[in-house]
Chains A and B, each alone.
Chain A
């Protein structure tokens, strides 16, 4: 017997491909633009969202029958905010270095619309195990796109990957810079993130025409 039933496995694999939160549902764009100037930040953000969405989805799912529908959005916000703040405090006390790297992401996680979107669309209507898988799947789908965008922006914008100078030294003119190559500083600015994202969306839809929306 497989570890996960077919339906459960789909909860994880769908958001990775044909139901990707960024490229298909167009959620979480703000953070995808803001922090993908370097690969490391993209990876850190992907892990942070994985953590928050996995746990948050379970918490909301457990509470789904007692949450008053009139204030459910507020309840969801409180759950995310409380989770993120507690994690931040614990990190500050026991893993100070890590918390300094993460500090800027804390605010971005709370406002990430993927989290609210999954709470609203999935966790409120499904059991905790399914909600957990859905959270993991969606944050992985989010993370994959973030890492692809971060990879190209850092490589073309700074000529580095994870801080390593993979294309040579731009000032000492070694590596590809010896042949007159220049870093494209525009890649570091948010508009280029949008364009890279657009290219990903284009490629994905041209490979699977069923994804093209009809108007």
Chain B
């Protein structure tokens, strides 16, 4: 005799029921946890921006952000001004750090003028210009916060990724890779050149800061190329603004 669970009608009903139960369960979980997740993301952004400026709790070798409890105070203490560059227009916006870079990139492709957020911070008398940028790694998105001085010399960088390979591409967010960028020049004789993530080990200890190169990670060629391409295409758009600073 046919079992009850083998009947087509039962199978269809079961499938419908399962979809309804699981679907509503996931929707409920996603909706009820959303405020917490958004808040965590906002805090993370502030931590990342401060990290690029060199405000962090790093010990030797580790990557440690300022604590969640103090990040809001530190952020308002160090970040003096947040601006949005749109074409030739520069406006101030206290929530510029909430601008979604991904959305702006899509808008730019559709022909709109892109909003470029830039955070101007001050630490120990020095001025930092922190730009949020986004690009593609091997598997998924990569992004970074780059702190520069007014000559577009990198003062610090925080790199992150969505799903690069652990142990290989994922190492772009390790100190040994990120610290290499500090002091590197993005400009070369007045023209924008970016920073290449180079294989071939010409300068493994990274003494030459004006060669527009950092040492690549073995086994992570495509992620490294993604980082270089991101720095080049994204930071290039900030060049006109940095030129106006000189005048």
B145 to chain A, nearest CB (A): 15
Alpha-carbon gap, A68 to B18, bound state (A)? 11
Judged by a CB distance under 8 angstroms, whether B219 is at the interface is: yes
Judged by a CB distance under 8 angstroms, whether B87 is at the interface is: no
B6 contacts A70, C-beta separation under 8 Å = yes
A2 to chain B, nearest CB (A): 37
Checking B29, B37, B166 against A104 with a beta-carbon cut-off of 8 angstroms, the contacting residue is B166
B5 contacts A92, C-beta separation under 8 Å = no
A23 to chain B, nearest CB (A): 22
Interface size range of chain B in the complex: 20 to 34
**Which B155-179 residues have a C-beta within 8 angstroms of A?**
162-168, 170
Checking B5, B14, B61, B168 against A37 with a beta-carbon cut-off of 8 angstroms, the contacting residue is B168
Judged by a CB distance under 8 angstroms, whether A188 is at the interface is: yes
Contacts A66-B5, A68-B6; is A78 near B166 (CB within 8 Å)? no
Across chains A and B, the number of contacting residue pairs, with CB separation under 8 Å, is: 87
A75 contacts B168, C-beta separation under 8 Å = no
Q: Mark B88-102, 1 if CB is under 8 A from A, else 0.
A: 000000000000000
Checking A70, A85, A93 against B11 with a beta-carbon cut-off of 8 angstroms, the contacting residue is A70
Question: What chain B residues lie within 8 Å of A92 (beta carbons)?
Answer: 33, 36-37, 40
Question: What chain A residues lie within 8 Å of B165 (beta carbons)?
Answer: 34-35, 37, 104
Question: What chain B residues lie within 8 Å of A96 (beta carbons)?
Answer: 40, 43-44
Label chain B's interface by main secondary structure: helix
B205 contacts A89, C-beta separation under 8 Å = no
Q: Which residue from chain B places its CB closest to the CB of A183 in the assembled complex? A: B218
Alpha-carbon gap, A67 to B15, bound state (A)? 9
Judged by a CB distance under 8 angstroms, whether B72 is at the interface is: no
Contacts A67-B14, A68-B6, A71-B15; is A89 near B33 (CB within 8 Å)? yes
Contacts A37-B219, A86-B26, A93-B40; is A66 near B168 (CB within 8 Å)? no
Question: What chain B residues lie within 8 Å of A75 (beta carbons)?
Answer: 14, 18
A66 contacts B14, C-beta separation under 8 Å = yes
Q: Mark A186-197, 1 if CB is under 8 A from B, else 0.
A: 001100000000
Label chain A's interface by main secondary structure: helix
A42 to chain B, nearest CB (A): 9
A37, A38, A66, A68 — most chain B CB neighbours (10 Å) = A68
Question: What chain A residues lie within 8 Å of B10 (beta carbons)?
Answer: 68
**Which B166-204 residues have a C-beta within 8 angstroms of A?**
166-168, 170, 204
Q: Which residue from chain A places its CB closest to the CB of B167 in the assembled complex? A: A37
A37 contacts B166, C-beta separation under 8 Å = yes
Question: What chain A residues lie within 8 Å of B36 (beta carbons)?
Answer: 92-94
Additional A-B contact list (20), CB under 8 Å, known A67-B5, A67-B14: A35-B166, A37-B165, A37-B168, A37-B219, A40-B166, A41-B166, A68-B14, A82-B25, A86-B25, A92-B36, A93-B33, A96-B43, A104-B162, A107-B163, A153-B167, A158-B167, A163-B61, A171-B205, A188-B167, A188-B218
Chain B: residues with CB nearer than 8 A to chain A?
A: 5-6, 10-11, 14-15, 18, 22, 25-26, 29-30, 33, 36-37, 40, 43-44, 61, 139, 162-168, 170, 204-205, 218-219
16 A-B residue pairs with CB within 8 Å: A35-B165, A38-B167, A66-B14, A68-B10, A70-B11, A75-B18, A82-B22, A82-B25, A92-B37, A92-B40, A96-B43, A96-B44, A104-B139, A104-B164, A154-B167, A171-B204
